[in-house]
Amino acid sequence: MRLILLGAPGAGKGTQANYIKEKYNIPQISTGDMLRAAIKAGTELGLAAKKVMDAGQLVSDDIIIGLVKERLKDADCANGYLFDGFPRTIPQADAMKDAGVAVDYVLEIDVPDEQIIERMSGRRCHPGSGRTYHVKFNPPKEEGKDDVTGEPLVQRDDDKPETVKKRLDVYHNQTEVLLGYYNKWAQSGEPGAPKYRKIEGVGPVEEIRDRAFAALSN
């Protein structure tokens, strides 16, 4: 199973990625993790990336694709792999295609913006332990207080509605075009074209998981 997972920030990709990884026994490939590993290992690409990052610049698509190709040679990718959060742009998708990175499925998890804003802006956490709650879906026993210690809960900056809206704007402006890109490629009938599947990401986590598994089995 070689898969790209697409969807807005807060659509639940991380949760579903864990289910998919376990079911198919494949690694989740995150460009952030790869960059950190390559820098730590001092590989040629890692050193090149570090130089760019130290200068406060963005790592080029060429370096990222190089890291991806290296990562896919590892033994744990023998059964396949799952990309989450990559590619983010059309040039990255083109570079992956040109590099011959095989993809069987592109799975889109679709959640309306207002649901994502409600989902993320309702989160509260206990800084000391990392325990998380949700004002609507998983409220603490006493409003605004941790169940165990009684200490106050906080809303992380990432979860504030204005921050969530900004992240969604970036997604709509930069990454959403990939949905059309992969859909069109899937319908082209070209050899090596992936299958494109779209599932609704609203409802109980287990239901969404079952939708994902069903989508990936046909």
Active site amino acids: 13, 88, 123, 156, 167
Q: What pairing do the DSSP bridges indicate for beta strands 132-134 and 123-125? A: antiparallel
Q: Which residues, including other chains, have CB under 8 Å from residue 99's CB and lie 6 or more apart?
A: 65, 68, 69
* Residues linked to residue 82 through DSSP beta bridges, in sequence order: 3, 28
Task: Confirm if 126 and 169 have CB atoms less than 8 A apart.
Answer: no
Q: How far apart are the first and last CA of the chain?
A: 12
Amino acid in position 189: G
Q: How far is CA 116 from the centre of its chain?
A: 15
**Rounded to the nearest 5°, which phi and psi values hold at 198?**
-125, 130
Task: Confirm if 116 and 9 have CB atoms less than 8 A apart.
Answer: yes
- Identify the CA nearest to 156 among candidates 6, 14, 10, 58: 10
